[in-house]
């Protein structure tokens, strides 16, 4: 069974850090691009970052560049999102998704999705 399970969310103060994990099962992340998306209350889901494990490229939204870092651990079949200098506007449900063909531009490009983990940043 294919699964993506996120963890690591929580409540932190502005300026703090969190590391999110996206643990994959049923497929090898080596062959996929894994992206992080987030959805804040009342807003549309947006892409945050993506790592293409096929060619090694990494992508970040402008709003998180310089603060967030995406990485992969192939031995653990897990992708991480290290989030530093967190801001209240980073509050959202963060979900990871897998795309067999690369870091897709559209959410419909992604084959598998996790359930999400809540991140709340207090001011």
Q: Is the pLDDT of residue 46 over 90?
A: yes
The pLDDT value given to residue 24 = 98
The pLDDT value given to residue 66 = 98
The pLDDT value given to residue 16 = 98
Over residues 101-115, the pLDDT tens digits come to 999 989 999 999 999
- Strand 10-13 and strand 68-73: pairing? unpaired
The pLDDT value given to residue 48 = 98
Judge contact between 93 and 116, C-beta under 8 A: yes
The pLDDT value given to residue 32 = 97
Q: Is the pLDDT of residue 31 over 90?
A: yes
Kindly list the distances between the CA atom of residue 23 and the CA atoms of 42, 92, 95, 121, in Å, as whole numbers in the listed order.
Answer: 27, 19, 11, 23
The pLDDT value given to residue 105 = 87
Give the chain's end-to-end CA distance (angstroms, integer): 40
Please give the average per-residue pLDDT across 8-13, as a whole number: 98
Over residues 54-102, the pLDDT tens digits come to 999 999 999 999 999 999 999 999 999 999 999 999 999 999 999 999 9
- Rounded to whole angstroms, the Cα distance separating 101 from 63 reads 25
pLDDT interval class at 34 (50, 70, 90): very high
- Rounded to whole angstroms, the Cα distance separating 30 from 53 reads 5
Q: Is the pLDDT of residue 23 over 90?
A: yes
């Amino acid at each position: 069974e294919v699964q993506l399970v996120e963890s690591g969310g929580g409540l932190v103060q502005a300026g703090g850090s969190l590391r999110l994990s996206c643990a994959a099962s049923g497929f090898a992340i080596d062959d996929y691009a894994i992206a992080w998306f987030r959805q804040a209350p009342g807003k549309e889901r947006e892409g945050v970052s993506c790592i293409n494990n096929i060619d090694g490229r990494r992508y970040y939204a402008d709003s998180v560049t310089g603060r967030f870092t995406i990485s992969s651990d192939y031995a653990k079949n897990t992708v991480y999102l290290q989030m530093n200098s967190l801001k209240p506007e980073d509050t959202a449900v963060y979900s990871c998704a897998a795309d067999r063909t690369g870091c897709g531009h559209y959410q419909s490009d992604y084959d598998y999705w996790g359930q999400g983990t809540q991140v709340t940043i207090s001011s």
